[in-house]
Structure 1
Amino acid sequence: MAGHSKWNNIKRRKGAQDAKKGKLFMKHAREIFMAAREGGGDPEMNANLRLAVDKAKSNNMPNDNIDRAIKKATGDLDGVNYEEFTYEGYGPGGVAVMVKVLTDNKNRTAAEVRHAFNKNDGNLGENGCVAFMFNRKGYLVINRTSVEIDEEELLLEVIEAGGEELESSEDQFEIFTAPEDFSEVKSVLEENEYTFETAEVTMFPTTHTHVGEEAASKMLTLIDMLEDNDDVQEVYHNLDADEEVLEKLS
């Protein structure tokens, strides 16, 4: 996971400045819709739906919005049908990029994603061209600045709950799990009265591509363009750059 914390912290700060609640809630609604359509509308019986709902609530999405998305998926309300796709390619400087989308118009979304890549010196590739560079992991972040936490005790609790790894920094603890163990680890730690700043199953690069300031700047612009697209749910990448460069660009 080396290099993840540095980029993740900068991305989080930038995201907090740029976030638009309407777009964010729309993305959550689509994710909830897909999870409920595929696995049923009961979060207790549908782990993917439970994760999607927890993620939405962590961003203060109203319960009414969450319930409406579930009802649309289960046929209680009229709604559009979404399809899920993942686009893969390379950004400026050869940075590997994966783009997860939920769309009701594949042709429109494909054209917009391709335009974002082309405009920023990147190019889309075939399915599988970069997927092998990423691993899917459960990811939990505990803020350590607001409450005193014994690191050794937390490590033991993470191991006992089935977690794979604990990383600590001055501001936070990062916990990594196998995807199938994420819900159990999260539940056990919640029972032990830990609260999470981030809790999700996401993709992590196995290697990183180091680039200079010019390529890093274009890569950040590419990420912004993709994340501003209503159809884009997640953008994964293996960008690495000197911390001073990322601080300057953020």
Structure 2
Amino acid sequence: MSGHSKWNNIQGRKNAQDAKRGKIFQKLSREIYMAAKSGGPDPDSNPSLRLMLDKAKAANMPKDNIKRAIDKASGSEGADYEEITYEGYAPGGVAILVHTLTDNRNRTASEVRIAFTRNGGNLGETGSVNYMFDRKGYIVISREELDTDEDAMFEDVIDAGAEDLKTSEELFEIYTDPKDLPDVRASLEGKGYKLDTFELVMVPQNLVPVPEDKIEQFHHMIDALEENDDVSEVFHAGDLSDEE
């Protein structure tokens, strides 16, 4: 139940870069729009929308932005976004998934392909790497100033209904069945824990070390994808140290 943190490998760099570039509200708006469009504008009956609204609030997204995204989904105006997942390999043969929300399929496909090919990667067919990842609920709790040891945290996590707990010096990482994420989150918050993040992620079943001579190229590819306005999430199976 314990092990080296993959926070940086899976999601940490994405969150930091999105915030620095001021794009997080734009991406959240589209995700709220898609959730409301597919499941309705009422978060009480739409778990996906409820999760996105919680993420938006945690990111301090203005209420007007949230309302505008929901109103757009409820009416006939606005862009018609679709979700497309691209699969392939990064430098070093590392499996990678790229989730996008786009109103122009051709534009997005071209830009994603360029990010792959210019940085030593290659796109694959649909289904070529998706089976190497598992969809999971993911919660992170910082250990800083947290008066809880690993045994106590393990008990609370299992009582909350989670599947797995990974620990490092800085973090507790909690994995759940996707459908159980809201209940696990509510249980942990009810016990007084402050959650650093909570979201649905694609977790690689096995990690692949990135060859030393491919690390810089690997980062360039991930950066190129994350800088794309149409890209909402990037997941990879690369095994990198925190320093790398």
For the superposition of Structure 1 and Structure 2, which TM-score range results when normalised by the shorter chain? over 0.9
Please report how far the alpha carbon of residue 155 of structure 1 lies from its aligned counterpart in structure 2 after TM superposition: 1.8
Please report how far the alpha carbon of residue 12 of structure 1 lies from its aligned counterpart in structure 2 after TM superposition: 2.6
Native 8 Å contact 1:53 1:66 kept in 2: yes
- 3-state secondary structure, aligned to 1:207: coil
Q: Matches of residues 85-234 of structure 1 in structure 2 within 5 Å?
A: 85-234=84-233
Q: Which 5+ residue runs of structure 2 have no aligned equivalent?
A: none
Amino acid at match of 2:57: K
- Tell me how far apart the structure 2 counterparts of residues 10 and 236 of structure 1 sit (CA, whole Å): 6
Give the direction of change, closer, same or farther, for the CA distance of 1:24–1:4 in structure 2 (3 Å limit): farther
Deviations 1:174-212 (A, max 9, x none): 111010111110111111221111111101100112122
Give the direction of change, closer, same or farther, for the CA distance of 1:27–1:3 in structure 2 (3 Å limit): farther
Give the direction of change, closer, same or farther, for the CA distance of 1:114–1:32 in structure 2 (3 Å limit): same
Give the direction of change, closer, same or farther, for the CA distance of 1:10–1:113 in structure 2 (3 Å limit): closer
- Tell me how far apart the structure 1 counterparts of residues 128 and 175 of structure 2 sit (CA, whole Å): 25
Please report how far the alpha carbon of residue 23 of structure 1 lies from its aligned counterpart in structure 2 after TM superposition: 1.4
Give the direction of change, closer, same or farther, for the CA distance of 1:28–1:135 in structure 2 (3 Å limit): same
**Which moves more between the two structures, 121-130 or 49-58?**
49-58
Please report how far the alpha carbon of residue 73 of structure 1 lies from its aligned counterpart in structure 2 after TM superposition: 0.6
- Tell me how far apart the structure 2 counterparts of residues 153 and 19 of structure 1 sit (CA, whole Å): 33
Amino acid at match of 1:222: M
TM-score (norm. length: structure 2): 0.92
Give the direction of change, closer, same or farther, for the CA distance of 1:207–1:3 in structure 2 (3 Å limit): farther
- Tell me how far apart the structure 1 counterparts of residues 156 and 86 of structure 2 sit (CA, whole Å): 37
- 3-state secondary structure, aligned to 1:230: coil
Q: Matches of residues 16-55 of structure 1 in structure 2 within 5 Å?
A: 16=16, 19-20=19-20, 22-55=22-55
Please report how far the alpha carbon of residue 11 of structure 1 lies from its aligned counterpart in structure 2 after TM superposition: 6.2
4+ residue runs over 4 A deviation: 1-4
- Tell me how far apart the structure 2 counterparts of residues 65 and 20 of structure 1 sit (CA, whole Å): 19
Task: Give the paired residue count.
Answer: 244
Amino acid at match of 1:101: T
**Which moves more between the two structures, 97-106 or 204-213?**
204-213
Deviations 1:139-172 (A, max 9, x none): 1111111331243333222212211111222111
- 3-state secondary structure, aligned to 2:5: helix
Amino acid at match of 1:104: D
Which structure has more helix as a fraction of its residues? Answer: 1
- 3-state secondary structure, aligned to 1:42: coil
- Corresponding residue number in structure 1 for 2:66: 66
Please report how far the alpha carbon of residue 22 of structure 1 lies from its aligned counterpart in structure 2 after TM superposition: 3.4
Amino acid at match of 1:41: P
Amino acid at match of 1:74: S
Give the direction of change, closer, same or farther, for the CA distance of 1:181–1:11 in structure 2 (3 Å limit): closer
Give the direction of change, closer, same or farther, for the CA distance of 1:192–1:168 in structure 2 (3 Å limit): same
TM-score (norm. length: structure 1): 0.90
- Which one has more relative contact order, counting CA pairs under 8 Å at least 6 apart? 2
- Tell me how far apart the structure 1 counterparts of residues 10 and 49 of structure 2 sit (CA, whole Å): 29
Native 8 Å contact 1:165 1:176 kept in 2: yes
- 3-state secondary structure, aligned to 2:127: coil
